[in-house]
Amino acid sequence: MSRTRLPNKYANAKFLLRTPFALAGFAVAILVNRVFPQIANVEIIDYEFPGGAVLNMNQAYQLVLLALILLYLIAGVYAWFDPDRRVRYLNRVPFRFAMGLALAAWDITGTKLLMLPQPFFPGPAKIIESFLMEGDYILQNTLYSLRLFAVGFLVGVVVGVGTGILIGWFARVYYWVFPVLKLTGVIPAVAWMPFALTLFPTPFSAASFLIVICAWFPVAFATARGITSTPKSHFEVARTLGAKTSYLVFHVAIPHAMPNIFTGISTANGFAFTTLVMAEMMGQPGGLGYYINASKVWSAYYKVFASILVMAILFSLIMWAIGAIQGRVLRWQRGLIHE
């Protein structure tokens, strides 16, 4: 009995000992921001908010670090109840500790001493100040980007899956459409911008078309490969049981192609996000790309970094959502693929 409990005790002790390191780096960053003297001449402005709250950039930065500590603390409590989640959490501890120390070093060199070239490399507190100055405007541009991305990406995925199924199932469609798919796939979506602006009535619809194009190719290509790679034995077994063509497509070929489809969707997400930003920088009336252009004109590079930060968070959340859907749809793969 003791031999079976011993590993669990060691695992619990290891988790409890290493978990604080995931938070310690951010605690050091807070301490550095509060204790290290402001040697360089940097203007620190107090911003007043409804309710009488007053914040400057350093206080807002410290609140962000506290929020990260709370987030990873909650993640640690959540991981405690599942062995697999514990392993993943412990694997990320060194990176999170190093990330906190990197923020502390960045704060010293970018804000306290201004050792980095200015205004191109502002400190983290200065970047957070962007949200104090014009958080509502950043939110408006973020929502514009999300709306544009959702329309283009979802349409591109649906059209891509449909095209891939047709190409993979019908030889005649493969003959006529697959060469077109390969031809358009190698052309960057932004290259179609002049034609899109001419063919479509609004900049929004033109940019949506570009995102559709760049999402369509990887999804269609991966779906077609998944359909054509379905073993013939699967179809023969289904036909022996009396399956018709529709059953073969929707219950044999498509389920087999699902891993390929999600691979194409994940790839398309990266392409679509890149195209989104580039399209917004080339003529959209809003969006994070538009916000970057507008900030760059005034050399407000801390606002550029703020929009990049928002992009990174959005992209991570979208990838997480795709991964969650994939894990739900492909739950039958658990135990078959080493994670």
What is the three-class DSSP state of 48? strand
CA-based Rg of the chain, rounded to a whole angstrom? 25
CA-based torsion, 296, 194, 141, 263: positive or negative: negative
Q: DSSP assignment of 104-162, as one string?
A: HHHHIIIIIS--S-TTTS--HHHHHHHHHHHHHHHHHHHHHHHHHHHHHHHHHHHHHHH
Give the closest residue to 163 by CA, choosing from 187, 180, 150, 186. Answer: 180
Model pLDDT for residues 214-264, shown as the tens digit of each residue:
999 999 999 999 999 988 888 888 888 888 888 888 888 999 999 999 999
The mean of the pLDDT values for the chain is: 88
Confidence of residue 190 (pLDDT cuts 50, 70, 90): confident
- The answer, yes or no, to whether residue 180 has pLDDT greater than 50, is yes
Best mean pLDDT range from 37-46, 84-93, 155-164: 155-164
In this prediction, residue 339 carries a pLDDT of 46
Report the SS3 class of residue 55: strand
Confidence at residue 303, expressed as pLDDT on a 0 to 100 scale = 94
d(CA 123, CA 58): 10
The predicted structure's pLDDT at residue 310: 95
pLDDT given for residue 48 in this prediction: 87
Please state, as a whole number, how many other Cβ atoms lie within 10 Å of the Cβ of residue 48: 9
Assess contact for 33 and 62: CB atoms under 8 A: yes
Domains of the chain from N-terminus onward: 2-116 (no CATH), 134-333 (1.10.3720.10)
Q: Is the peptide bond before 259 cis (omega within 30 degrees of 0)?
A: no
Question: Is residue 88's pLDDT more than 60?
Answer: yes
- What is the model's pLDDT at position 334? 64
Token reading at 324: 């969650």
What is the average per-residue pLDDT within 7-18? 71
| Res 9: pLDDT | 64
Cis peptide upstream of residue 119 (ω within 30 degrees of 0): yes
* Chain segment 120-157, per-residue pLDDT in tens: 999 999 999 999 999 999 999 999 999 999 999 999 99
Nearest to 288 by CA among 304, 302, 301, 271: 304
Q: Which of 321, 315, 216 is nearest to 261 (CA)?
A: 216
Rounded CA-CA distance 195/188 in Å is 13
Q: How confident is the model at residue 306 (pLDDT cuts 50, 70, 90)?
A: very high
- Of the pLDDT bands very low, low, confident and very high (cuts 50, 70, 90), residue 6 is very low
What's the whole-model pTM score?
Answer: 0.85
Whether 5 shows a pLDDT value over 50: the answer reads no
Q: Which tokens sit at 321?
A: 């959502």
pLDDT value for 39: 92
Neighbours of 338 (CB within 10 A): 4
Residue 3 has pLDDT above 50, yes or no: no
Evaluate if residue 59 carries a pLDDT over 70.
Answer: yes
Q: What is the pLDDT of residue 4?
A: 41
CB 278 within 8 Å of CB 148: no
| Average pLDDT rounded to a whole number, residues 51-64 | 91
Residue 138 CA from chain centroid, whole number: 18
Quickly state the pLDDT bin for 114 (edges 50, 70, 90): very high
81 pLDDT more than 60: yes
Structure tokens that stand for 249 in this block: 């497509």
